[in-house]
Amino acid sequence: SDFIVGFPGETNKDFEDTMNLIIDIGFDTSFSFIYSARPGTPAAELTNNTSEKEKKYRLSTLQSQIVKQAAAISESMVGTSQEILVTGQSKKDTADLQGRTENNRVVNFNCADHSIIGNFISVKITDALPNSLLGQL
Protein backbone atom coordinates (compact mmCIF):
# COMPACT_ATOMS: atom_id res chain seq x y z
CA SER A 1 0.00 0.00 0.00
CA ASP A 2 1.02 3.59 -0.55
CA PHE A 3 0.51 6.31 2.06
CA ILE A 4 1.15 10.03 1.74
CA VAL A 5 1.14 12.11 4.92
CA GLY A 6 0.89 15.88 5.13
CA PHE A 7 -1.38 16.38 2.13
CA PRO A 8 -2.75 19.95 2.14
CA GLY A 9 -5.70 20.08 4.51
CA GLU A 10 -4.86 16.82 6.29
CA THR A 11 -6.11 17.17 9.86
CA ASN A 12 -5.07 15.33 13.00
CA LYS A 13 -8.35 13.39 12.68
CA ASP A 14 -7.51 12.45 9.09
CA PHE A 15 -4.15 11.11 10.19
CA GLU A 16 -5.73 9.29 13.13
CA ASP A 17 -8.22 7.68 10.73
CA THR A 18 -5.34 6.58 8.50
CA MET A 19 -3.55 5.04 11.47
CA ASN A 20 -6.73 3.24 12.56
CA LEU A 21 -7.12 1.85 9.04
CA ILE A 22 -3.50 0.62 9.05
CA ILE A 23 -4.10 -1.13 12.38
CA ASP A 24 -7.53 -2.54 11.45
CA ILE A 25 -6.34 -3.98 8.14
CA GLY A 26 -2.99 -5.06 9.53
CA PHE A 27 -0.77 -3.65 6.80
CA ASP A 28 2.75 -5.02 7.14
CA THR A 29 4.43 -3.35 4.17
CA SER A 30 3.99 0.04 2.58
CA PHE A 31 5.52 2.77 0.54
CA SER A 32 5.03 5.93 2.56
CA PHE A 33 6.08 9.49 1.93
CA ILE A 34 5.60 13.09 2.95
CA TYR A 35 3.46 14.96 0.43
CA SER A 36 5.40 17.18 -1.94
CA ALA A 37 3.73 19.56 -4.37
CA ARG A 38 4.00 18.75 -8.06
CA PRO A 39 3.88 21.82 -10.33
CA GLY A 40 0.81 21.94 -12.53
CA THR A 41 -1.33 19.72 -10.30
CA PRO A 42 -4.45 21.02 -8.54
CA ALA A 43 -2.99 20.07 -5.14
CA ALA A 44 0.02 22.31 -5.75
CA GLU A 45 -2.34 25.29 -5.50
CA LEU A 46 -3.66 24.27 -2.07
CA THR A 47 -2.44 25.83 1.16
CA ASN A 48 -0.57 23.39 3.36
CA ASN A 49 -0.70 24.45 6.99
CA THR A 50 0.94 21.33 8.42
CA SER A 51 4.47 22.01 9.68
CA GLU A 52 7.42 20.02 8.37
CA LYS A 53 8.04 18.82 11.92
CA GLU A 54 4.48 17.44 12.13
CA LYS A 55 4.76 15.82 8.69
CA LYS A 56 7.98 14.05 9.74
CA TYR A 57 6.36 12.94 13.00
CA ARG A 58 3.36 11.50 11.14
CA LEU A 59 5.57 9.66 8.67
CA SER A 60 7.70 8.22 11.46
CA THR A 61 4.61 7.17 13.43
CA LEU A 62 3.05 5.50 10.40
CA GLN A 63 6.22 3.66 9.41
CA SER A 64 6.87 2.53 13.00
CA GLN A 65 3.37 1.04 13.23
CA ILE A 66 3.83 -0.90 10.00
CA VAL A 67 7.23 -2.23 11.16
CA LYS A 68 5.63 -3.26 14.47
CA GLN A 69 2.83 -5.09 12.67
CA ALA A 70 5.28 -6.80 10.30
CA ALA A 71 7.39 -8.01 13.23
CA ALA A 72 4.31 -9.38 15.00
CA ILE A 73 3.26 -11.31 11.89
CA SER A 74 6.78 -12.70 11.41
CA GLU A 75 7.03 -13.68 15.09
CA SER A 76 3.67 -15.46 14.86
CA MET A 77 5.07 -17.64 12.08
CA VAL A 78 7.92 -19.04 14.22
CA GLY A 79 7.27 -22.71 14.92
CA THR A 80 4.85 -23.11 12.02
CA SER A 81 5.33 -24.97 8.76
CA GLN A 82 5.03 -22.75 5.72
CA GLU A 83 4.80 -23.61 2.06
CA ILE A 84 7.31 -21.46 0.21
CA LEU A 85 8.32 -20.96 -3.39
CA VAL A 86 12.08 -21.53 -3.56
CA THR A 87 13.43 -18.59 -5.55
CA GLY A 88 17.20 -19.12 -5.51
CA GLN A 89 20.35 -18.87 -3.45
CA SER A 90 20.30 -16.84 -0.27
CA LYS A 91 21.89 -13.42 -0.62
CA LYS A 92 23.62 -13.84 2.74
CA ASP A 93 25.02 -17.36 2.39
CA THR A 94 25.42 -19.25 -0.89
CA ALA A 95 25.13 -22.54 1.02
CA ASP A 96 21.54 -21.57 1.81
CA LEU A 97 18.50 -21.22 -0.40
CA GLN A 98 15.83 -18.58 -0.24
CA GLY A 99 12.12 -18.61 -0.86
CA ARG A 100 8.95 -16.64 -0.21
CA THR A 101 5.87 -17.45 1.78
CA GLU A 102 2.35 -16.81 0.55
CA ASN A 103 2.42 -13.50 2.46
CA ASN A 104 5.70 -12.57 0.71
CA ARG A 105 8.08 -13.14 3.65
CA VAL A 106 11.65 -14.06 2.64
CA VAL A 107 12.74 -17.37 4.19
CA ASN A 108 16.39 -18.48 4.21
CA PHE A 109 17.15 -22.14 4.87
CA ASN A 110 20.08 -24.53 4.56
CA CYS A 111 19.85 -26.86 1.58
CA ALA A 112 22.50 -28.18 -0.79
CA ASP A 113 19.94 -29.42 -3.34
CA HIS A 114 19.59 -26.53 -5.77
CA SER A 115 17.30 -28.59 -8.01
CA ILE A 116 14.38 -27.50 -5.81
CA ILE A 117 14.68 -23.89 -7.02
CA GLY A 118 11.38 -22.99 -8.67
CA ASN A 119 9.39 -25.50 -6.62
CA PHE A 120 7.08 -25.20 -3.66
CA ILE A 121 8.31 -26.89 -0.49
CA SER A 122 7.36 -26.94 3.17
CA VAL A 123 9.79 -25.46 5.71
CA LYS A 124 9.52 -25.03 9.45
CA ILE A 125 10.09 -21.42 10.51
CA THR A 126 12.70 -21.33 13.26
CA ASP A 127 13.38 -17.62 13.74
CA ALA A 128 12.09 -14.18 12.79
CA LEU A 129 14.66 -11.55 11.85
CA PRO A 130 13.91 -7.90 11.03
CA ASN A 131 13.72 -8.47 7.26
CA SER A 132 13.44 -12.22 6.82
CA LEU A 133 12.68 -15.56 8.41
CA LEU A 134 14.92 -18.55 9.02
CA GLY A 135 13.64 -22.02 8.30
CA GLN A 136 14.62 -25.65 8.08
CA LEU A 137 13.49 -28.51 5.89
- Indicate which CATH number applies to the domain containing 48: 3.30.750.200
Mean pLDDT calculated for residue range 110-123: 96
What is the model's pTM?
Answer: 0.85
Q: Check residue 94 and give its pLDDT.
A: 85
Task: Collect all residues with Cβ–Cβ distance below 8 Å to 128 and sequence separation of at least 6.
Answer: 71, 74, 75, 77, 78, 134
* % of the chain at pLDDT higher than 70: 100
So what's the pLDDT on residue 125?
A: 99
Q: State the total domains in the chain.
A: 2
Residues 127 and 104 in one domain: yes
Closest alpha carbon to 22 in 51, 6, 2, 8: 2
Q: What is the pLDDT of residue 104?
A: 94
pLDDT in tens, 50-107: 999 999 999 999 999 999 999 999 999 999 999 999 999 999 888 899 999 999 999 9
- Domain end, chosen from 50, 76, 102, is at 76
Q: What is the CATH number of the domain that holds 122?
A: 2.40.50.140
Instruction: Give the C-alpha separation, 18 to 127, whole Å.
Output: 31
Same domain, 7 and 70: yes
**Is the domain of 69 the same as that of 113?**
no
Q: Give the pLDDT mean for 8-32.
A: 97
Range of the domain at 69: 2-76
**Co-location of 60 and 26 in the same domain:** yes
Q: Which of 42, 60, 76 is the last residue of a domain?
A: 76
